[in-house]
């Protein structure tokens, strides 16, 4: 039986992580090895190991973000010589054995580097699609998730240009060829960048609609918090500088400068009356534009 390292990065979300791990142990029958990287300012490992003593807990000296936390967990899984690594958000849970469905896809295709499930938004019923495949919109800034039921049901796996870092099952051998996540992103777009690096190395990615996962969206960082707006704004520029063609980047910058920046003033300042989000958006935009180090792959 293939050994799978389940890597979760915790940030003040021990209750949700405990729910996630409990659901995995209840529904998934694979050989799972749980690795938790605790980025919380006050470590919560005791609260997690109380219910799940079998986990490997890692407490970093400093919070290096989602990418850095994933890398610590991946390194631990590689040291244990596990066959696959599942990157899984703590604010998710399952009601069926989605891991086995993903695993069969990876085992049956030597070119597949990583796969991801259908992700349902927690709306009290767990039936609203949050991730149902993806496409790349290079003109507006990268990934565009399919958020409807067009790929519903238990149909075949679909090739996609990117997956959500909320849940990725990855071959360990592919990671040895591609390397770790880029920690410069810290938060947001690190998963999309990682997907591009897999594609650059010749691997394919697949969305598997028969595998389902439920996600409590933006529960750990907070949707449209200052951190969300800042990192999303900065990292989108970084990602486009790194991967878009020059003409795609030119159109994107025109769209971002002429429409998105004024739009941030209108939406955050006038409509929502949250001027702190305007400064977060603009700060991210300018830092993304002026930091030249990210262009290096």
Q: What is the torsional sign of CA 111, 198, 115, 68? A: positive
* pLDDT at position 220: 54
Specify burial of residue 252 (Cβ count, 10 A radius: 0-12, 13-18, 19+).
buried
| CATH code of domain 3-215 | 3.90.550.60
* pLDDT at position 193: 96
Q: What is the torsional sign of CA 167, 41, 238, 274? A: positive
- Got the DSSP string for 5-59? EEEEEESS-HHHHHHHHHHHHHH--SEEEEEEEE--SS--HHHHHTT-TTSEEE-
Q: pLDDT confidence of 125, banded at 50, 70, 90?
A: low
Dist. CA 237–CA 121, nearest whole Å: 27
Position 70 pLDDT exceeds 60: yes
Q: By mean pLDDT, which of 41-45, 62-66, 183-187, 268-272 is the weakest?
A: 268-272
* pLDDT at position 234: 94
Which tens digits make up the pLDDT trace of 182-231? 999 998 999 999 999 999 999 999 999 999 999 987 655 555 788 889 99
Which tens digits make up the pLDDT trace of 75-112? 999 999 999 999 999 999 999 999 999 999 999 999 99
Q: Is 225 helix (H, G, I), strand (E, B) or coil?
A: coil
Q: Which residue has the higher pLDDT, 221 or 36?
A: 36
Q: Which helix (H) or strand (E) holds 87?
A: strand 84-88
Q: Give the total residue count for the chain.
A: 297
Give me the mean pLDDT over the 144-152 stretch: 66
Rg, C-alpha atoms of the chain: 19
Q: By mean pLDDT, which of 2-11, 13-22, 271-280 is the weakest?
A: 271-280
Per-domain residue ranges for the chain? 3-215, 226-295
Average pLDDT, the chain: 90
For 59, 65, 119, 142, the CA distances from 134, given in Å and listed in that order, are: 33, 24, 12, 10
Which tens digits make up the pLDDT trace of 253-269? 999 889 888 888 888 87
Which tens digits make up the pLDDT trace of 165-176? 999 999 999 999
Specify burial of residue 178 (Cβ count, 10 A radius: 0-12, 13-18, 19+).
buried
Q: pLDDT confidence of 156, banded at 50, 70, 90?
A: confident
Dist. CA 84–CA 87, nearest whole Å: 10
Report field, pTM of the whole predicted structure over 0.85:
yes
* pLDDT at position 147: 65
Distance of CA 171 to the CA centre of its chain: 16
């Amino acid at each position: 039986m293939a050994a799978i390292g389940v890597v979760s990065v915790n940030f003040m979300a021990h209750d949700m992580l405990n729910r996630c791990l409990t659901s995995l142990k209840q529904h998934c029958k694979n050989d799972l090895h749980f690795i938790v990287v605790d980025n919380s300012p006050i470590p919560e490992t005791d609260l997690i190991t109380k219910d799940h003593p079998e986990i490997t807990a890692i407490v970093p000296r400093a919070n290096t973000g989602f990418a850095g936390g994933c890398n610590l967990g991946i390194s631990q899984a590689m040291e244990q010589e596990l066959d696959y690594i599942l990157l899984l958000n703590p604010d998710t849970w399952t009601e069926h054995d989605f891991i086995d469905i993903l695993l069969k896809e990876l085992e049956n295709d030597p070119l597949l580097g990583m796969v991801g499930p259908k992700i349902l938004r927690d709306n009290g019923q767990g039936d609203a699609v949050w991730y149902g495949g993806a496409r790349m919109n290079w003109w507006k800034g990268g990934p565009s998730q399919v958020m409807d039921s067009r790929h519903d049901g238990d149909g075949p796996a679909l090739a996609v240009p990117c997956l959500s870092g909320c849940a990725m099952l990855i071959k360990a051998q592919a990671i040895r060829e591609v390397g770790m996540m880029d920690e410069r992103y810290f938060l947001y777009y690190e998963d999309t960048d990682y997907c591009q690096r897999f594609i650059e190395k010749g691997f394919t990615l697949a969305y598997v609609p028969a595998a389902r996962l439920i996600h409590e969206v933006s529960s750990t960082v907070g949707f449209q918090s200052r951190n969300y707006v800042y990192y999303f704004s900065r990292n989108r520029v970084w990602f486009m500088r790194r991967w878009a063609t020059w003409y795609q980047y030119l159109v994107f910058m025109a769209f971002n400068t002429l429409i998105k920046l004024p739009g941030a003033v209108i939406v955050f300042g006038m409509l929502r009356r949250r001027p702190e989000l305007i400064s977060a958006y603009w700060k991210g935009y300018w830092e993304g534009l002026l930091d030249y180090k990210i262009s290096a792959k």
